[in-house]
Structure 1
């Protein structure tokens, strides 16, 4: 993914498909990339498609334990735990945003506060000059 996808993110919901092992194997790459761009935001891990095999909810997924991530077993198809997942993720994101100590958040906030427009009329170029790229000629006397 491109770095811009992480811009201003306050939480991450990382999803893998319990029926496709490749998605579980990709978690390490995805997580490393997330932490490169947003090292401090909260992240939750989601095991999706439990409706296809409810026995998956009995499995222990080491990735969640290794990185101390909350793990949600959900089914997007039948809605199992989807509302709970989003409610919890929103709470984490709001808490993070209100209490962030992340240096990048501070930098982004400062960049947003920069006023690029001149404040005084005197600082603005003449509109005619702006339109034609050259100053107006003085009127003959």
Structure 2
């Protein structure tokens, strides 16, 4: 099974690319930096945007950089609780809970993909199946004219 991970790093310059990041997504990991309050405040914006494009996929919230102050693991983060999302405390620097996070995210994504009732997932799956059927049958991809391309009116 193939797994892809995409990361925008919360950078504003990637704002216009978000729709393509969400295309075919089956899970989301939203990370905030426990040392940068603005990243926690951005969770609501990111989550709202995610749900616009992928309303049903599982989402995990991650408090990163716990190695800087382990006491943050005792804090309650309302965002995750408000939306009933799992919250992981991790340290990318020392590896704390990173493997568990990715294993759980992959498990959730696979389960979602196998059981999805999302209309767009069904449409995309049908399109993929159609492409596979054509390739298996040895049908060449239709060229532009075979697809019924409409040309402009003939010159008079």
After TM superposition, the score normalised by the length of structure 2 is 0.73
Of residues 48, 53, 56, the one that matches 1:37 is 53
Q: 44, 57, 62: which is aligned to 1:46?
A: 62
Name the Cα RMSD after superposition.
2.3
Where structure 2 has 5 or more consecutive residues not aligned to the other structure, the ranges are 1-14, 145-156
Shift of 1:119: 4.6
1:88 pairs with one of 104, 115, 136: 104
Shift of residue 107 of structure 1?
1.5
User: Over residues 40-75 of structure 1, what are the superposed CA-to-partner deviations in whole Å (9 max), with x where a residue is unaligned?
Assistant: 000000000000011100000000000000000000
Aligned residues: 123
The one-character-per-residue Cα deviations of 1:62-97 (angstroms, maximum 9, x if unpaired) are 000000000000000000000110111111011001
The structure 1 residue matched to 2:28, chosen from 12, 24, 28, is: 12
Equivalents in 1 of 2:143, 2:87: separation in Å? 55
**Residue of 73, 97, 101 corresponding to 2:113:** 97
Greater gyration radius: 1
Shift of residue 23, structure 1, vs aligned partner:
0.3
For 1:107, the equivalent position in structure 2 comes to: 123
Residue in 2 that maps onto 1:132: none
Structure 2 Cα separation of the partners of residues 29 and 11 of structure 1? 17
TM-score, L = length of structure 1: 0.80
Paired position in structure 2 for 1:78: 94
Runs of 4+ deviating beyond 4 Å: 115-120
Q: What CA distance in whole angstroms lies between the structure 2 residues aligned with 1:114 and 1:43?
A: 30
Give ranges in structure 1 of 5+ residues lacking alignment. Answer: 126-141
